[in-house]
A and B are shown apart, each in its own frame.
Chain A
Amino acid sequence: MPKPSSNQGKEPALQVIWTGTISFSLVAIPVQLVRAVEPGRVSFRMLHSRDYSPLVRRMICPKEEKIVPPDEIIRGYEIGPGKYILVTDEELESVSPERSRTIEIVEFIDMKDVDPIYYDHPYYLVPAKGGEKSYRLLVEVLRRTNKAGLAKFVLGEREYLVAVRSMAAALSLITLHYSEETLSDEELAPGEETIKAEETARMKKIISGMAADFDPDPYADERRKKILKLLKKLAKERGLVEAPAAEEEDQEGPADLVAVLEESMRRAKKSR
């Protein structure tokens, strides 16, 4: 199986999205959830046109036109115009206390049985201190059996159904869609029209002539090359601008995989 290409030898900074335990039966392994996807090598950032400082997404109080620090933010469920039920992080964690810090594998499945429609977003689990050996065991056993563990866990406002499998020496965690989220394809099917067997045979012949091994690298390289070529030309023409150094700020906010993802993309670009 082709492996995803490494990112030109540059070590991505591991930003921890979640810390907890993954368990199966009586074995519990302390782990951290980290990202498996980062924006492509060529991506753009929003800048302030006056001082060339990068822009960041922040919550603003419209009354004061000021940035609101994370500890002054609370979730509200709207029950009427301007009327909200406030919900704290602790209350949210109390909804499923057994799942907010534990990924409990309830059963194992064959990866080949999973319809790709269920795959949502990939992450990695990495072992936390003391968990290295049992982590290694789970990776190796999953690899040998080509199985994945199914579990549910809660992060922020959402409960995720996930499949945990091995990928090289790591545990790969993929969030899955719930089956109630998948749409029916019944009414899109082409119906009962029959075609001659030789038409399928002819199609198979064309497909055989185009058979290859899956290698995603050339497609990524081509895309990158095209944009870089233009950027190099532009850089020669007009030169670069420099951003002023900004102070780091505290970013502890309500947990949400999507928000964390945005944040990690920001950092990924920064660390490039």
Chain B
Amino acid sequence: MAGRTLWKGTISFGAVDVPVKLHAAVREERISFHLLHRRDRVKLRQQMVCAYEKAPVPPEEQARGFEWEEGKFLLVDPADIERTEPEESRTIEVHQFVKTGQIDPVFLDRLYYLEPEIPLKGYIALLGAMREMDVAGICTWTMRKRSYFGALQAGGKILRLNALRHADEVISAESLDLPDIPLAEKELKIGGDLIAQLTAPFAPQKFENEHQKKLQDLIDKKARGERIAILRPRRLKPTAPDKLLQALEASLKKVA
């Protein structure tokens, strides 16, 4: 079951207008814990605290600021921010179409399902055309006073809207400054063969979130007053650089 309608809007480009409704595509369920004070088991509450006084700050003493330089702020009130906020609109404006493979997954944020609204013709034509061309529509829209940047995509049966992270929010891999270490062609060859041997089709259904069940078991055991055996986390011994080729060869032998 898809979630309820989150928002209604119209995909728009050129002379094309396609009305749609947004739905959530993912729902996470997990066991949640409260944080307690160890001493008296009082449930703790999260609150904003003054970093200088180390004391809780009531909402009427909270302000917003933009950090101009370290430790120096420009005070900004919500009315100021509203001046930069986009006008409320119901338009998902498509600016360009790109090959879907060009969007690195690091940019992909939350995904929404798009339900068609009458008339269906435009929706069906757009879905079919995008699927055949294997393209995504780079678009912007405003939802709940926030502007979004995203990619309109053709899913299996429906259109989807994938919110994208902004370029200045993604840390580049280059900035990690990782060393370039020379590798022997033989190491690369065996590494490649090994990966080929271990490759399977992507079948996410195979992977269950068993952890939730195990966590529930732990809680049940404790509720019955049973003792929990403390197991030390498994730690693997790192492969030494001069033993890498040997480890790769032994791995390949094991799987072949």
Contacts and interface: CB of A to CB of B under 8 A. Distances in A.
B68 A87 contact: no
Interface string A24-63: 1111111000111111111111111111111111111111
B83 A56 contact: no
B171 A124 contact: yes
Interface residues of A, number: 181
A213 B98 contact: yes
A136 B183 contact: yes
Contact of B181 (A98, A132, A152, A216): A132
Interface in B190-214: 191-192, 194-196, 198-202, 204-205, 207-212, 214
Given A78-B34, A132-B179, A211 B135 contact: yes
Contacts of A240: 68, 72-74
**Interface SS majority for chain B:** mixed
Contact of A177 (B26, B196, B222): B26
B101 A96 contact: no
A139 B102 CA distance: 20
A57 B39 contact: no
A212 B36 CA distance: 53
Q: Which of B76, B170, B252 has the most CB of A within 10 A?
A: B170
A99 B39 CA distance: 31
B85 to A, nearest CB: 10
A232 to B, nearest CB: 9
Interface core residue of A59, A82, A126 (most chain B CB under 10 Å): A59
**Which of B62, B84, B127, B240 gathers the greatest number of chain A CB atoms within 10 Å?**
B84
B38 to A, nearest CB: 5
A223 B62 contact: no
Contact of A117 (B25, B140, B172, B250): B25
Residue among A144, A177, A185, A226 with the most chain B CB within 10 A?
A: A185
A7 B155 contact: no
20 contacts: A3-B104, A25-B198, A44-B65, A45-B66, A47-B64, A47-B75, A76-B33, A85-B222, A94-B231, A108-B200, A119-B108, A161-B209, A183-B113, A185-B156, A190-B158, A193-B120, A199-B121, A211-B135, A231-B74, A243-B52
A83 to B, nearest CB: 9
Interface string A126-138: 1100111111111
Interface string A80-116: 0010111100111111111011100101111111111
Interface string B138-153: 1010000001010001
A73 interface: yes
Contacts of A202: 125
A241 B75 contact: yes
A101 B233 contact: yes
B124 A190 contact: yes
A4 B2 contact: no
Contact of A5 (B47, B162, B168, B176): B168
A95 B218 contact: yes
B14 A145 contact: no
Contacts of B140: 219
Contacts of B28: 177, 181
B173 A167 contact: yes
Nearest to A77: B219
B47 A60 contact: yes
